[in-house]
Structure 1
Amino acid sequence: MINTSLFTLFLVTSAFAVATPGPGVLMTLTSSIRYGLRTAVWVILGTSTGTVVMSMISSTGLGILIATSPAAYETIKALGALYMVYLGVRLFKAKPFSFDLASKEKAMSVTVKQKGTLWLQGITLQMTNPMLIMFFVSLFPQFIDHELAFVPQVVVMTVTYFCTVFCIHFCYGWIASNFRRLLSTPKAAKVINCVGGAFFLFLAARVFVDMLQ
């Protein structure tokens, strides 16, 4: 059903990508501090759901491309590797992510209707992020085994990515709710940026080496 070694690499790559501070993380932090973790779970679910929607959109086009033009697919892989080089360099150069906005929020209570609104906000955030679909287009081809069925692999990766987003954002939310002072220092974000950047560069190099063989 899946290639175990490729899936393991996909899991590690996804974890680095999700853990890297960005708009989704900031929304999770802000919501966790403002409403509390129990309510912020709806934002986290929305963010996770949004990634699934974007994943399916990206994968549908990718599946058609694989079936109709292997050469074009290889080109997409090369462009995806270049995009990962860009991500790696950008992470190395990025300034530590600021959590000032989140730390200024105050705890509030919300209604059931507002929880639904928070869920939709998480979905909207992901679906209006043009970098996300680029990430999926560049990410998925690197972990597809051509000797196995395409759809089951995409389903497994999509579900895995959903769980990864939920778990990591939940951890961010828990930290935001219980250890606000830790958010006042940019050191943790800087470490994540550097480690994530190095991993993306490593993965891009691996793709280029495979293409040359």
Structure 2
Amino acid sequence: MSWHLFVVFFASTFFISATPGPNMLLAFQYGLNYGVKRTLWTLAGLSLGLFILLLSTLLGLDVISRQSPWLLTVIKTIGALYLIYLGISSWRDTNNSSLMSDASAMSAEVSAELTPNPDRSAKPLPRSLSSAAVKSVPNDWILFRTGMWVSLSNPKAILFFAAFFPKFINFSAPLWPQYIMLTVGLFLSETIWQLIYTIGGKKLAGWLDVGERLAWLNRGCGVIFILIAAALIVDVISTL
């Protein structure tokens, strides 16, 4: 993988990571509820779950590229169609929902599924937290487990990786150095935005919730999806 291609990959993933998906919403809400230091356990869980999904995708692409090259062409074609679908969906996603309300709903849903019973070992909240927050802070293991569960419970991530990554991989060159570069780039962009949502989420939410800024962020991601889909289609046609 050339550095030029890596820069394009990193810029794309960095922009896409900025959108408030499940991982970012959880980091945002937990940062507000429990503080930055405690939420780092959740971020570690999110990262581990993301790594497991990413590794599964890359291993699958590696096996397919070596044993069934024709299937890789099929994956690229389906991936391009899936990215076009994501692009159109992102462009049309102009609902007026608030980032604050979305994050609260996400946190409540996760809490209901993972912690149906109060945790007796939980510590009391700092006085600085609002009374609307949960009444007790989960222990570190629960925070870590919650992050990992949210990451792993998103099977769409595997579909996205399988559709997105082939455009940036040269399957005729050694694969693992490229996999390492892709993994580092993705984790760097995800980690930066997870920290931004955790540390400065309230200010970011206030900025995004003004006018149509969040809608235009979604539209920008939609354009990226469609451009990469077009590049994949060109690759497929050139191999026929």
Q: Same fold judged by TM-score > 0.5?
A: yes
Q: Could you tell me which residue of structure 2 aligns to residue 26 of structure 1?
A: 25
User: C-alpha separation between the residues in 2 aligned to 1:154 and 1:78?
Assistant: 21
Question: Which of 115, 119, 126 matches 2:140?
Answer: 115
Gaps in structure 2 of 5+ consecutive residues: 105-129
Q: Could you tell me which residue of structure 1 aligns to residue 158 of structure 2?
A: 133
Q: Could you tell me which residue of structure 2 aligns to residue 172 of structure 1?
A: 197
Q: Could you tell me which residue of structure 1 aligns to residue 167 of structure 2?
A: 142
Q: What's the % identity of the aligned pairs?
A: 28
Q: Is the 8 A contact 1:55 1:133 kept in 2?
A: yes
Q: Could you tell me which residue of structure 2 aligns to residue 80 of structure 1?
A: 79
* Root mean square deviation, CA, Å: 2.3
User: C-alpha separation between the residues in 2 aligned to 1:210 and 1:101?
Assistant: 38
User: C-alpha separation between the residues in 2 aligned to 1:59 and 1:9?
Assistant: 19
**Normalization by structure 1: what TM-score?**
0.87
Q: Could you tell me which residue of structure 2 aligns to residue 70 of structure 1?
A: 69
Q: Could you tell me which residue of structure 2 aligns to residue 36 of structure 1?
A: 35
Q: Is the 8 A contact 2:53 2:158 kept in 1?
A: yes
Q: Could you tell me which residue of structure 1 aligns to residue 115 of structure 2?
A: none
Matched, 1:204 2:233: no
Q: Is the 8 A contact 2:84 2:229 kept in 1?
A: yes
Q: Is the 8 A contact 1:32 1:177 kept in 2?
A: no
Q: Alignment partner of 1:145: what SS?
A: coil
Instruction: Pick the structure with greater CA Rg.
Output: 2
Q: Is the 8 A contact 2:25 2:103 kept in 1?
A: yes
Q: Could you tell me which residue of structure 1 aligns to residue 10 of structure 2?
A: 11
Gaps in structure 1 of 5+ consecutive residues: none
Closer/same/farther in 2, CA of residues 25 and 19 from structure 1, 3 Å limit: same
- Is the helix fraction higher in 1 or 2? 1
Q: Could you tell me which residue of structure 2 aligns to residue 106 of structure 1?
A: 133
Q: Is the 8 A contact 1:3 1:145 kept in 2?
A: no
**Normalization by structure 2: what TM-score?**
0.78
